[in-house]
Structure 1
Amino acid sequence: MTSPTVPVPEGTPEPAAKSEDPRQRSIVREARRYFMSEGYAATRIEPIARAASVSTATLYGYFPSKAHLFSAVIADAADDFQAQMRTVGMAGGTAREQVTAFATAYANFMGDRFVRSVFRLVMAERPRFRDVAQGFFERGRSDFGAPLMRALTVLAERGELSFPKAAWAAGQLMGMIEHPVFFMPLVTGDEVQTQRTTECIVAEVVETFMARYGT
């Protein structure tokens, strides 16, 4: 059975929440595996249906086209990221303790190979799914950046930090972490890893951040 020719404009709607239907969840999970290993263009619907133990007709009943299925896969990955992001918070303690806790959790998240694999997939298909990709990146920025800015603002109000804008301070903190643990492997490949440990990277980042913004 061949894929129906359903034209899908940029910004194909993403599911608002994870489905409770076990067959739909299985389809999305198997599709994620194929899209990430094969890429969008090379991925075929029939193997996904077989891996999910459903017929192709059943799969198309949930997702009218491969484009709709891809959008659901990205939304599902974003949901998983959001669940992980909930652990990347600012706990109680001094400014240094809170910044260290955030930096450690964020470094562990951004250094995860699965996270990079999803980002690679989204970036590769951005010309085809521009709005889906933009929504994915904006969601990540909101889930991470907004809570961090709120926490930094509280620390500034307590007199433990001083900065002109919370957004600048948050962006610099996240950027110092992202460069060695995320962007370098993203560009050079997972086989090329920084020689520094995560603990060493976090310690250097926190020291630089506190030297700049600590009071």
Structure 2
Amino acid sequence: MNRNDKDQTEQSLAVPERRGRGRPQLRSDDETRALIYDAARREFSERGFAAANIADVACRAGVSTKTLYRLVPTKLALFEETVTDRMDRFVSIVNFGACDGRDVAAALEGVLLTCAELVLDAEVIALQRIILADSDKFPDIAETFYEKAMQRTIASLASWLNVQQRRGRIVLDDTEAAAGMLLGMLVFKPQRDVMYGHKPAPLHSEMEARAKACAALFLSGCAVPADQIRKQSGEA
């Protein structure tokens, strides 16, 4: 073997053979669904249920229509799963808030702020406008939103109140009724202001202030204590 052949042989033994990188790892179905739900929320909020196009949702999500239909078979199912996905994230936050160690007033303020951020979210407001406009033609979307969003929001807040009641921090006869009244006090007016175009969505600081005021009113009420009334009467 000559010197050149020997050098080439040593080099081939010293340098390992490079392997191809192969096919890139594919996204999981859960990751793909998350992209689809995000794209669907934008599509529904911008175009409405009737005009929303599945092919455009797929394009926004960066997936093929074949993949989308494999994971979500119909437009109604897509709407339902999109709402459910948003609510799942909301419920996880509210449940987490029920398990921390803060005092009940601070904890309630945090939970109410989360509720306000959900109900007054621009995409949620847009979805409600869609439902009002399209519910005659597509009653199923109204029922879906009522069950998956509205009722579940109240149920989540009622569940949180139940936890606080078991801990002995509050006393309520009907936590579900209380949750509905509390949520109405929190968001009814700002939600209507936004939906009817009278005001823009409140700033985060405004939602914080409203959550704080509603928590204080709910926990303490606004009636003057009886002993203070007697004292004031005596002074008069």
TM over 0.5: yes
TM-score between the two structures when normalised by the length of structure 1: 0.66
Pick closer, same or farther for the CA change 1:40–1:201 going to 2, 3 Å.
same
1:139-178 paired onto structure 2 within 5 Å: 139-142=152-155, 144-155=156-167, 158=168, 160-178=169-187
- Matching residue of 1:15: none
- Matching residue of 2:23: none
Q: Could you tell me how far apart the structure 2 residues matched to 1:198 and 1:192 are?
A: 9
Pick closer, same or farther for the CA change 1:49–1:95 going to 2, 3 Å.
closer
1:59-78 paired onto structure 2 within 5 Å: 68-78=74-84
Q: Could you tell me how far apart the structure 1 residues matched to 2:30 and 2:115 are?
A: 32
Q: Is the 8 A contact 1:28 1:69 kept in 2?
A: no
* CA positional deviation for 1:62: 5.3
| Structure 1: stretches of 5+ with no match in the other structure | 1-18
Counting matched residue pairs gives 189
Aligned match of 1:82 in 78, 88, 97?
88
Q: Is the 8 A contact 1:34 1:48 kept in 2?
A: yes
Higher RCO by CA contacts (8 Å cutoff, separation 6 or greater): 1
Pick closer, same or farther for the CA change 1:184–1:150 going to 2, 3 Å.
same
1:38-71 deviation line (CA, Å, top 9, x unaligned): 112223344344444555566555555xxx2243
**AA of the residue aligned to 1:34:** E
RMSD across aligned positions (CA): 3.5
Q: Secondary structure at the match of 2:200?
A: coil
* CA positional deviation for 1:37: 0.7
**AA of the residue aligned to 1:76:** T
**AA of the residue aligned to 2:144:** V
Structure possessing the higher radius of gyration over alpha carbons: 2
Q: Secondary structure at the match of 2:49?
A: coil
Aligned match of 2:151 in 138, 142, 145?
138
**AA of the residue aligned to 2:105:** R
